């Protein structure tokens, strides 16, 4: 598959998932989930959807379980917007990068607060 087609498919999937998360996935277990990125295999048979969840480990697990329960619905909706011979198989993965970034920011702020006055 051509790279342009894969990029177009990624954009369509990202747009549809944003809409689903905002308007249609009402499972309270899903919680506050953010789509961080979409990766589509070169043959467009697989799509990895990466999500981040701000919260405890338990909230992350609940959100992932909620998304896994909604996977059939998500797969169906993606198939409707990605009109081609094959619809990509959806794989849902947790992306820890937002939590990691938040942790780094917290540590940097703590270091800055602990500096003696007058140091830069």
pLDDT band for position 108 (cuts 50, 70, 90): confident
Say if CB 14 and CB 49 are below 8 A apart.
Answer: no
- Sheet of 46-53: strand order equals 33-40, 46-53, 89-94
- Residue-wise pLDDT for 40-57, tens only, equals 999 889 999 999 987 788
CATH class of 3-114: alpha beta
Separation CA 113–CA 66 (nearest Å): 39
pLDDT at site 6: 86
The pTM assigned to this predicted structure is 0.76
How many angstroms separate the CA atoms of 65 and 97, rounded? 19
Q: Who contacts 99 (Cβ-Cβ below 8 Å, separation ≥6)?
A: 52, 54
Six-digit token string for 98: 């937002």
> What is the torsion angle, in degrees rounded to the nearest 10, for the CA atoms of residue 36, residue 41, residue 46 and residue 50?
-10
pLDDT confidence band for 2 (50 / 70 / 90): low
3-state SS class at 55: coil
Grade residue 112 by pLDDT with cuts at 50, 70 and 90: confident
DSSP 44: S
* E strand or H helix at 49: strand 46-53
């Amino acid at each position: 598959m051509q790279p342009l087609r894969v990029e177009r498919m990624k954009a369509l999937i990202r747009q549809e998932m944003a809409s689903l998360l905002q308007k249609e996935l009402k499972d309270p277990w899903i919680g506050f989930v953010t789509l961080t990125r979409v990766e589509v295999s070169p043959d467009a048979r697989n799509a990895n959807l990466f999500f981040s969840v701000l919260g405890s480990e338990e909230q992350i697990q609940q959100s992932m379980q909620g998304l896994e329960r909604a996977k059939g619905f998500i797969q169906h909706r993606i198939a409707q917007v990605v009109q081609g011979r094959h619809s990509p198989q959806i794989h849902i993965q947790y992306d820890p990068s937002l939590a990691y970034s938040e942790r780094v920011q917290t540590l940097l702020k703590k270091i800055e607060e602990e500096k003696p006055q007058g140091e830069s």
